Amino acid sequence: MVLADRVCKSFGSVQVLKGISLEVPRGTVTCLIGPSGSGKSTFLRCINHLEVVNAGRLYVDGDLIGYRERNGKLYELSPKDAAAQRRDIGMVFQHFNLFPHRTVLENVIEAPILVKKKSRAEAVERAEYLLDRVGLANRADAYPAQLSGGQQQRVAIARALAMDPKLMLFDEPTSALDPELVGDVLKVMRELAASGMTMMVVTHEMGFAREVADQLVFMDGGVVVEKGDPRELLADPREERTRSFLSKLL
């Protein structure tokens, strides 16, 4: 589903990604872990073409992301064409990013109506199903400010799913939540993984990674230091840098 080939990204003179190569098979969950500043979130944003890569190539479901290749040269897509690619990639951010002036239901139906041209009735039916799935069927008429952080994040997940994505990206979806609210969000993500959704998750929740992930990737300094089976990597990491990082968490 995702193929990264020597992806590089710089902001000015700071090189944030230094040749990331990674494969994410369809229907699997890949968790990205590592210290702050290691490039995890930037890598996710590049997959969604919210950031433009400086070198290397990214493919989602066989499509080159952000560029068109002609005669061996890459040409950046127009904003319209890039947005069309982005329709198939759901992203859930750390800070929810809900529209504060719209109800929960309105937040979920807006993109399917505007972008996918679904009828309002069709979009509402799908939204009601998704809100029930994330445990918020009774909050459809509430505004984001009337919800807890965990509830807002579950609305954000429903909003992303409303576009019927083939890939879901989660950028530290629980890090802004109070500890007692984390479980509800992780429960929704577990159910999503069990349904066969391809997911990439930047997380510090090692229990979730051990239980749900098919692949665990440890990044540091803009490179993939180590990757493998989550249970094996967490129990017996090969690299000293990985061991040092995990010793502070586990």
CB 249 within 8 A of CB 206: yes
Model pLDDT for residues 65-84, shown as the tens digit of each residue: 999 988 888 888 998 898 88
Burial tier of 34 (Cβ tally within 10 Å: 0-12, 13-18, 19+): buried
Task: Return per-residue pLDDT of the chain as tens, 250 residues.
Answer: 999 999 999 999 999 999 999 999 999 999 999 999 999 999 999 999 999 999 999 999 999 999 998 888 888 899 889 888 888 999 999 888 899 999 999 999 999 999 999 999 999 999 999 999 999 999 999 999 999 999 999 999 999 999 999 999 999 999 888 888 899 999 999 999 999 999 999 999 999 999 999 999 999 999 999 999 999 999 999 999 999 999 988 7
Spacing of C-alpha 176 from chain mean position: 15
**What residues contact 119, with CB distance under 8 A and at least 6 apart?**
113
Q: Residue 20 is encoded by which pair of tokens?
A: 């990331």
CB 79 within 8 A of CB 150: no
Give this prediction's pTM.
0.93
CB 69 within 8 A of CB 248: no
Q: What integer pLDDT is reported at residue 250 of this predicted model?
A: 73
Q: What integer pLDDT is reported at residue 179 of this predicted model?
A: 85
Q: How far is CA 93 from CA 157, 202, 228, in A?
A: 9, 10, 25
Q: Residue 232 is encoded by which pair of tokens?
A: 């094996």
Q: How far is CA 12 from CA 43, 48, 56, in A?
A: 16, 21, 17
Cα Rg for the chain, rounded, in angstroms?
18
Q: What integer pLDDT is reported at residue 180 of this predicted model?
A: 83
Q: What integer pLDDT is reported at residue 162 of this predicted model?
A: 95
Q: What integer pLDDT is reported at residue 161 of this predicted model?
A: 95
| Closest by CA position to 134, among listed 108, 169, 167 | 108
**What residues contact 137, with CB distance under 8 A and at least 6 apart?**
128, 131
